[in-house]
A and B are shown apart, each in its own frame.
Chain A
Amino acid sequence: MKDDFEPTIIGFLCRWCSYAGADLAGTSRLQYPPSMLPIRVMCSSRVDPVFIITAFLRGADAVLVAGCHPGDCHYIEGNYYTRRRFACLRKIFETLGMESDRIRLSWISASEGPRFAQVVTDYTDKIKKLGPNPAKKEIFL
């Protein structure tokens, strides 16, 4: 049963780096699981932690936030703020006893097509092992 489970990962990808990285993975014809649903944002710092929680509670098995490497942000410092907010959200998940493995922050540059494919592959494997998000079947959210 568990082998049939194909996770849904919501990916918030920054328009300048990670989205372009995903594009490169595609044009380079790299193979990776079709589990990620990309959402393009202008900067990873556009992602309010509430977006992540929304995706999670609506039943996404995992949420990936990806942006430029620190120091490479198109807006100079956006991703530094992302990192602080993400650390904050992660702490909240941990303290509430929720599976903090279901949220992930990764830096993927526009030239890192192989890294993009690798991140999605690894993360999909990890979530497969974790199983489906329990929020999927909950009614009283």
Chain B
Amino acid sequence: MSKVLRISKGAEQGVQELLKFLLESGKVKGVLTLTKINNNGAVDYSLITNSEMLKDALPLFPLMPANAGKLLSRFTLKSALAEPIAVVVKPCELRAFIELVKREQGSLENFLFISSTCDGVYPLEISSNGEVAKKLSKYWDAVKKGDIAPDIRPTCSCCKYFLPYNADITIALIGENIDKECKIFLTTEKGKKSVEGMKGQLVEGELKTQEVKNLLNKREENKKKLFDNPALMQDGLSGLIETFGRCIGCHGCSRVCPICYCTLCTFDSKDYENEPSTYETELKKRGGMRVPPNTILYHIGRLTHIGISCVGCGMCTDVCPVDIPLSTIFLKVGGEVQQTFNYIPGKSVEEKVPLTIFEKEELTEVED
């Protein structure tokens, strides 16, 4: 059970009001939220300090134009925030940010994290042609019922971590009557303090309702279906070649990946410019080779580098111009790696990334 601030307004409006209150009372100096760009349904993250401008804010809009975890890390890479800022992010974006902070790519200081129970986001390709607007009513219906929303990102439809970790304030959406009331869960002391003085009814509430538990089961089932689908990827090298063979090498997946934080990726660096002699030896062995080489290496390499921290946000699939189901593959393989170390990326900022620590007695099964 935790403290809940209940406002008798729709969820979207309630959050807007919360943001307005936070700004106008001076509890935060700025707000980072999704904001409307035009009337086609396109949104983007904006940092807002003038409360007038909040009228275009769509904090709960089911789109992820960029993983906010990456944006927050960029804010705080050089130094921590000097003034408090409230951010409204999806649970996986918050997890990604926590992962980045653990990798010393940002700082949590002065952030007020507002998140919600999340029913997923739509793929970006439908974000600018007005398609999203048509789907919204169905989306919110699914949220109210606690169903998997139709047509959302595949990784969203099997995401188990839709209750946010580390949020100060959590907006309850799934299974709630979001047209009539907005339930603002104050999950930390900081969250409680920040809403002091705000109009509303302070009650006790439980975030993990039966609807939430049911959705968890539905997603678990969906995950099995998605991962075991033979169309996802065939086993072995031939499967890899078939799936990644169509990769055009744009490296967009690493560009948008919140965990891939290197400004110069090793696979884009000079290390991967080959000497003519490399081509010669390869050609002597094989009698032919794909140009440029190292496509499969890039993808498995990326799996070894970030698989342990993959939050399954689905950005990579979204930006892939040749429709490789990257995020599903990464979530499947990464999930197995994470399970080896009993690790949930972004769950706790104190828990170290498994590859940076060790136990003296462990994993004897991998030694020979």
Chain A residues close to B by CB (< 8 Å): 48-50, 53-54, 57-59, 70-71, 77, 80-81, 83-92, 94-99, 104-107, 119, 134-141
Contacts and interface: CB of A to CB of B under 8 A. Distances in A.
Contact of A104 (B241, B304, B332, B368): B368
A52 B238 CA distance: 19
22 contacts: A49-B301, A50-B297, A53-B300, A57-B294, A81-B355, A81-B356, A83-B358, A83-B367, A84-B341, A87-B366, A88-B308, A96-B233, A96-B236, A97-B234, A106-B367, A119-B368, A134-B236, A138-B241, A138-B286, A140-B295, A141-B241, A141-B289
Contacts of B287: 139
B308 to A, nearest CB: 6
Contact of B363 (A84, A89, A92): A84
B289 A139 contact: yes
Nearest to B294: A141
A133 B282 CA distance: 15
A83 B304 contact: no
Contacts of A80: 358-360
B296 A95 contact: no
Interface in B291-341: 293-297, 300-301, 303-305, 307-308, 332-333, 336-337, 340-341
B26 interface: no
Interface of B: 233-241, 245, 266, 282, 285-290, 293-297, 300-301, 303-305, 307-308, 332-333, 336-337, 340-341, 354-360, 362-363, 366-368
A116 B185 CA distance: 61
Given A50-B266, A88-B337, A136-B286, 5 more contacts: A54-B297, A104-B368, A138-B286, A139-B287, A140-B241
A141 B355 contact: no
A62 B286 CA distance: 18
B307 A88 contact: yes
A58 B287 CA distance: 13
Given A106-B367, A135-B237, A136-B285, A71 B360 contact: yes
Contacts of A70: 360
Given A53-B304, A96-B300, A141-B290, A81 B236 contact: no
Nearest to B241: A140
Given A89-B304, A97-B236, A138-B286, A81 B358 contact: yes
B322 to A, nearest CB: 14
Given A91-B337, A106-B368, A136-B286, A84 B237 contact: no
Task: Say what secondary structure dominates the interface of chain A.
Answer: helix
B209 to A, nearest CB: 34
Nearest to B288: A139
A96 to B, nearest CB: 6
Contacts of A140: 241, 245, 290, 295
B239 A105 contact: no
Contacts of A139: 286-290
A86 B366 contact: yes
Contact of A141 (B297, B303, B337, B359): B297
The 5 closest A-B pairs by CB, nearest first: A97-B235, A80-B358, A49-B304, A50-B301, A97-B236
A20 B366 CA distance: 23
Given A53-B304, A92-B304, A97-B235, A84 B354 contact: yes
B21 to A, nearest CB: 46
Contacts of A57: 294, 296-297
Contacts of B301: 49-50, 53
A112 to B, nearest CB: 14
A99 B236 CA distance: 8
